[in-house]
A and B are shown apart, each in its own frame.
Chain A
Amino acid sequence: MGASSHPQHTTSHATPQSRGDQPAVGGDDEGAPLLTVADVRLSFAGVRALDGVSLTVGEHELFAVIGPNGAGKTSIFNVLSGVYRPQQGQVRFAGHDLIGREPYAIAALGMARTFQNIELFENLTVLDNLMLGRQRHVRYGWAQAMWWLGPARREELAHRRHVEDLIDFLEIEAYRKHPVGLLPYGIQKRVELGRALAMEPRLLLLDEPVAGMNAEETEDMARFILDVRDELGIPMILVEHDMRVVMDLADRVLCLDFGQPLVTGTPEEVQQHPAVLEAYLGGGATTPTAPTPTAPTSDAAEEGPR
């Protein structure tokens, strides 16, 4: 435990962490991407939320998913974290098949996420919320917890140090002991990022991290996301409506519409792609409701992930 639970996020070129301390994770497919999603299909009573989605995320990649409202972006995250079980398709993460795994087991493999509508534990303090992110690293059991002295206290101290480093990193020292529910929205978003980072994830899923933020808060958050990539070396999938943020941060972008992948490519490629323009414009005024995920998308989907 000891050393691994006290990483220095301040060291500038950290290698992807939580590799050494998670022997179970050391996948069996060498050289393969960290995450491979293949032909995932998910529907709810007639609604096709995901219709043949495939993507890969590399070890150092910041991968963005964009698309109009209801395109299925959050559904991808829910499939990845085990909340939804797709009817079809494969998900491979760090050498493990994820479909059918319980969410806690997926978290234990190093998948962390934030939520579109903040899902913090409002009654708990910032500190406790972040400490909850350490759950997958906790080794002591209930009996040791009740006794406290010994392993429980030693581990709790190590987790506390780790969490305090993150509190520094995210500049939320002043809120440490505040119940999260009373904090401003922008700070809550930051705390949620902190909780995910406390997991020392191998992959971080961010669902609209700057939604509802003003320009200044957006800039702060974008900076934190860059720091997470560059300093902590954690690969990410970013779902975001703010195109400027996506274009600035992402290495590659996938655009979805009605659950179908339109195109995957560099931010520039995706931005100029006719099918993407069509989806965003078409989603607005011309065909507002009719769910006809057929004509404009089918050929574009061929391009799929590289």
Chain B
Amino acid sequence: MPVDVGPRAGPHPVPVTLTINGMRHDLTIEPRVTLLDALREYANLPGTKKGCDQGTCGACTVLVNGRRIDSCLTLAIMHTGARITTIEGLADGDRLHPMQAAFLEHDGFQCGYCTPGQILSAVALLAEKRPLDDASIREFMSGNICRCGAYKNIVDAVAAAGKQNV
């Protein structure tokens, strides 16, 4: 028997202010909107990618107060007041972030869809002060799936950027 659940009103949109790449974004969104969808659908910042919406692929990786997180697994409303960094905020004007430049030089991507997440994850990895040998990079970049299989070049890019960093 079909069950009539009655009209579903849904939660009401509320004002949510986010600080993304140093810019203030005043959004009016339902509390259930994920940080990922807030970026892509409401803040006009689709550089952050949706690969699974389930926390399994890492395409949606952003930095929140410098820490890498899957933005699909968290609600936007939980991050008012936080410093959110997306791929759009990494370069300094025309000057690429060293990690971006390394990905370009080492061909650390093919289709580019996992790339924003890979780059932000790699930026965080350097900040985490992990050892930068191959095995460690491979381990700590394993939260970001690249279906194109650019892994080897990703490792080379991260290692090269890491060398510049220290």
Asked if A and B bind, the verdict is: no
